[in-house]
Structure 1
Amino acid sequence: MLHLSSLISNIGSRNLKVTVRVDVADLRNHRTNRQPHQEFRTLGDARRWSSPAARSRGGGRIRRMGCSISGLNALYESATGGGDVWINERRFRVLRQIGEGGFAFVYLVREQQPASDAAPARRHAAHVSEDGIYAMKKVLIQSKEQLDLVREEIRVSSLFNHPNLLPLIDHAIIAVKSTQGDWSHEAYLLFPVHLDGTLFDNANIMLSRKEFYSTADVLQIFRQMCEGLKHMHSFDPPYAHNDVKPGNVLITRRKGQAPVATLMDFGSARPARKQIRSRSEALQLQEWAAEHCSAPYRAPELWDCPSHADIDERTDIWSLGCTLYAIMFNVSPFEYALGESGGSLQLAIVNGQLKWPAGPSPPYPDELRQFVIWMLQPQPAMRPHIGDVVLHVDKLITKYLS
């Protein structure tokens, strides 16, 4: 284990002592007489040591968090005020921030000229941006629990390969130690960029303009979401997304064509099927759902779980029904309860108290409303599985788009 310590002055508005832990393999001149520790006086020295050129000369290989990631590069740039971030051996220029939430920030980045011919070979051809523009999510990690969650998000995201699921292209995790001696981490996750925003963003704009999607667009957007979710539900064991909502559906507009829908954010995705056999297990599930599943789209059984229940992927079907409603009317189906005197979002959801918007609304066929009702059954056993949902939406597409 190699420890690197250096005092970096005036990072932001404070001094920060940074320590990076790395494993060193195949060090030249250390095969027979290895030293337990080695110290670099500057991050620049460490970065030069960890560069591809140095490694080609036998300088060793840095590994971190189970990934072959040159974390020192990213740390060096942030510590010295540079505008670049390194992920593995790929260098990205930060252009601007495009979003934030909780402990995460999303940046628009452009890939710089690869430093070696080896870097492009690792990329999936379908995920290479022609103009080098990507979205980079930076997560500030303050606890072991948060670190475990990020690692799980990376693991789960790497399982899926579908055109309607946002792919994780690359990632890095950096360990940092402050002057107070506390360890923290920063994670960098690289994704394709979608600059047209999410369904939630578009809904807010359309609501302010009193605009609605056409029946054709509603069905085609929804079908793409279903295809992505079907891919997850088809795993063995099936995976539930657990946070299907308009804010997690990216939209790409195409002139003269229906928008492309891409389901994202797999931080809450887990194996879908759980056997609940005690009150304690039921309360644990409810507590987990309260932290990971957005309240307006959370299934009734995750609000009030019985002490004896079999939970499955149909929790996502409830969320899918709520999202279809939101695509149609630009609002979620149960948040009306928050505006009522004595209203309760939980009671509205658990009792399935669905209300249709008052006033002028788009002339959607009644079959579309019945489709929503079919998915919003409070009893999970009464809800369809994703395969049935896809078959039904295909029938509606054939009827209304042909």
Structure 2
Amino acid sequence: MADTRLIQSRYRLLDLIGRGGMGEVWRARDESLGRLVAVKCLKPMGPQHDQAFTRILRERFRREARVAAALQHRGVTVVHDFGEHEGVLYLVMELLDGQNLSQLLEENQQRPLPVDHVVDIAEQVADALGYTHRQGIVHRDLKPANIMRLTDGTVKICDFGIARLGHDIGVTSRLTGTGIAMGTPHYMSPEQIGGKEVDHRSDLYSLGCVLYEIATGVPPFDLADPWAILVGHRDTPPEPPRTHRAELPGFFDRVVLDLLAKTPDERPADASDLRRRIVLGRTGEQPAPGPAYPSSALPGAHPVATAPRPELPAWARNMTAGHKATGAPDPAAGLPGPAAGLTGRWTSAKSTAPASPPGTDGSAVLPPAHPAPASALLAELAGRHSAGIDLGRLGRWEEAGDIHRAVAARRESVLGPDHPDTLASRYEIGFTLSRTGRAADALREFGQVAAGRERTLGPDHPQTLAARQETAYVLGQLGRHFEAHQVYAAVLAARERSMGPDHPDTLRCRHNLAFNLSRLGRPEESWQLAREVADDRARLLGPTHPDTLATRYEVAYTLGRLGRWAEALEAYQEVARARAASLGPDHPDTLAARYEAGISLGRLGRSAEALELYRALVADRTRVGGPSDPETLRARHGLGVNLGRMGRWEEALAEARDVCAMRGSTLGPDHPDTVISCREVAVALGWLGRWTDALTAYRQVAEARGRTLGPDHAETLAARQDEAHCLDRLGRAEEAAELYRTLAAHRAQNALPPH
């Protein structure tokens, strides 16, 4: 690996993130998928190292890969891949944009973090630990360097290198038999120090140490001598955090002291209960104290007399103090500074590179290999592929499609039609087609991508299943919901078989299946499944995660389909509030939930409230997207509908005509939204007694629907029924009767069973 920057012909190392005695962490590019990742590499061990020591380090590294890859939670770093290349173990993880808590304290010159940040971090870490502990996994090395706060405020736990499964008996003796300390002295629990068996409550103690430090600026036992630190954890009650910082809330002081109880039984029972206490504390409420939380370390409390403490284990006698969250280097270890959980430095036997950060290409540490003839081209194509994806995220689908088509053609000529990169570009082409209303073209593209991926990657590969799932989505766009249902069901079975029921992709497939069931006219089944998925997503991702809220939105939709509009309204309003808090009040998803709440109000006969809601929504949509944005016009359409429901038909007509004209010029005369507005014009004209004008409008609706949906489609026939009604109101009874007979014949013919 020292002679190349490309691992397994896939991961190109770009620049160094962290370095230590055991390995390095690099920012890298996944050349196959065109995304940035973090690659953690374990230092290759030469014959001069103790073989038992080397074996333990490699076991820890593999353990981290196995444990972390099994975890799917927003508060845990995602692991994408794991393997060995030229004798070096590597781990591929999501690239996090943020800083660990150690770096945040260092940047803040060792002053404590703001109180609201500290409490938020405490709640998020408790939530993530609750999830990992439910999976039977204990981290065992929780410290500031292993907790990241991203730029968007999300907090993630990293580095499961010495985590262990709850049922993996005997690992403690195996991993401590070589004298390798299990944890960092400033954050080790008394039972870890005593060499006893540990469980999830050891993580809670370590979390208490972390929270103490970020809240006060110092760890609970701020001593230079490692032996004194360990004895402090084992024997000495900590000073209450508020003695260092009086502004800390009382509930937080009590929570931290309970976490730092000397025996596990005195600590909170689990991380979920801890999170509940933090949430209650934020609201100013406190649960009644119970027997699970005897706080012997509360201010003024006297230590409880206990049996004499056993000696510290032999492995602790040679420990160094390690790093608290200052990030200061340890001169004895020769460390350059904070290393994201790694210790010491390494490059290669030939390298004499300094510890200072390398250039952007990483060549200061790993000399670049001679590039293959096409490497520069492939790198350029990967960059253009990423640019296309970014344009799609901005909603610029046409431009994104042009880029992906060009990249796909070039990749196919260089790499071949079934290369994963070529298929990745074609997948994005399908995505842009489906988002620009070209569902039939998208279906063809996704079908070919799925076939190519099945040939090269296998039928159950996640990328193959992703392409098949998109074929189901566009089948739904085409109104072919039964076929979509069959594909979703098959993909779901494969995902559950290969990924498990709680994998995010499995849950996404179940969400889509619930969505499709409602379009099949099976709203009761859709509602039941959507509720289950919402509960599972809340459990795994959190109640306010965007995916959880998307499924709760679907629950609200199915309630509406079932005629349960009061419940639907409540659900939409809850989703809107949660999205406003987590995504922002102007986020498209927040505004969409508000729109649906307006629909529910109208269905409940509360048109005055709906009217006010839509007026505010129109103002917000105009400010965010402009007056001609499709969503602005959708809100104006809702406004016009409710004006009509209140009998204000002149205003309703003016609104409908204006919206219809704008939709026609921006979306086209046959677009479904334009046709709906045209029908709203016809309805208003009819209520105003202007039947000749209404007849003209209904005929325009019928002609547009006939062109786009076919002459026998239910919506086309409904428009012609409205046309017949107008004829009848105009006294043209014979024409109306003839049209009614024609419509009856169409319906009878369509109702006949196939031969």
Measured against the shorter chain, the TM-score band is 0.5 to 0.7
Cα offset, 1:160, TM superposition: 0.8
Name the residue aligned to 2:234: 350
Paired residue type of 1:150: F
Q: Is the 8 A contact 2:216 2:244 kept in 1?
A: no
Q: Which secondary structure state, in structure 1, belongs to the residue aligned with residue 98 of structure 2? A: coil
Query: Equivalent of 1:338, from 224, 227, 234?
Result: 224
Cα offset, 1:144, TM superposition: 3.2
Q: Is the 8 A contact 1:164 1:263 kept in 2?
A: yes
Do residues 94 (structure 1) and 16 (structure 2) align? no
Q: Which secondary structure state, in structure 2, belongs to the residue aligned with residue 173 of structure 1? A: strand
Query: Equivalent of 1:365, from 249, 267, 285?
Result: 249
Query: Equivalent of 1:303, from 193, 211, 228?
Result: 193
Q: TM-score, normalised by structure 2?
A: 0.34
Do residues 192 (structure 1) and 94 (structure 2) align? yes
Do residues 207 (structure 1) and 93 (structure 2) align? no
In structure 2, distance between residues paired with 1:198 and 1:223:
16
Q: Is the 8 A contact 2:147 2:158 kept in 1?
A: yes
Q: Which has the higher strand share?
A: 1
In structure 1, distance between residues paired with 2:191 and 2:212:
20
Cα offset, 1:296, TM superposition: 0.9
Cα offset, 1:361, TM superposition: 3.5
Paired residue type of 2:164: R
Query: Equivalent of 2:138, from 240, 254, 268?
Result: 240
Name the residue aligned to 2:165: 271
Q: Is the 8 A contact 1:207 1:330 kept in 2?
A: no
Cα RMSD of the aligned pairs, angstroms, is: 3.0
Cα offset, 1:83, TM superposition: 3.1
In structure 2, distance between residues paired with 1:160 and 1:297:
23
Query: Equivalent of 2:117, from 207, 211, 217?
Result: 217
Q: Is the 8 A contact 1:160 1:232 kept in 2?
A: yes
Paired residue type of 2:59: D
Q: 1:362 to 1:274 in 2, by over 3 A?
A: farther
Do residues 316 (structure 1) and 203 (structure 2) align? yes
Q: 1:282 to 1:201 in 2, by over 3 A?
A: closer
Q: Which secondary structure state, in structure 2, belongs to the residue aligned with residue 338 of structure 1? A: coil
Identity %: 22
Q: Is the 8 A contact 1:275 1:311 kept in 2?
A: no
Q: Is the 8 A contact 1:94 1:108 kept in 2?
A: yes
In structure 2, distance between residues paired with 1:355 and 1:314:
21
In structure 2, distance between residues paired with 1:92 and 1:282:
34
Q: 1:232 to 1:222 in 2, by over 3 A?
A: same
In structure 2, distance between residues paired with 1:343 and 1:188:
34
Cα offset, 1:221, TM superposition: 1.1
Cα offset, 1:188, TM superposition: 1.7
In structure 2, distance between residues paired with 1:270 and 1:371:
26
Paired residue type of 2:247: P
In structure 1, distance between residues paired with 2:179 and 2:134:
22
Matches within 5 A, 1:272-291: 272=166, 291=181
Structure with the bigger RCO (C-alpha within 8 Å, sep 6+) is 1
In structure 2, distance between residues paired with 1:150 and 1:284:
14
Q: Alpha-carbon deviations, 1:84-113, whole Å to 9, x = none?
A: 333xx6x2332211111222101111233x
Q: 1:194 to 1:282 in 2, by over 3 A?
A: closer
Q: Alpha-carbon deviations, 1:210-254, whole Å to 9, x = none?
A: 4x333221111111111111111112xx21100111110011123
Query: Equivalent of 2:56, from 145, 152, 166?
Result: 145
Q: Is the 8 A contact 1:299 1:319 kept in 2?
A: yes
Q: Which secondary structure state, in structure 2, belongs to the residue aligned with residue 316 of structure 1? A: helix
In structure 1, distance between residues paired with 2:282 and 2:116:
7
Q: 1:358 to 1:325 in 2, by over 3 A?
A: closer
Q: TM-score, normalised by structure 1?
A: 0.62
> Structure 2: which 5+ runs fail to align?
46-53, 286-580, 582-755
Q: 1:284 to 1:156 in 2, by over 3 A?
A: closer
Larger radius of gyration: 2
Name the residue aligned to 2:154: 260
Paired residue type of 1:268: I
Q: 1:370 to 1:386 in 2, by over 3 A?
A: same
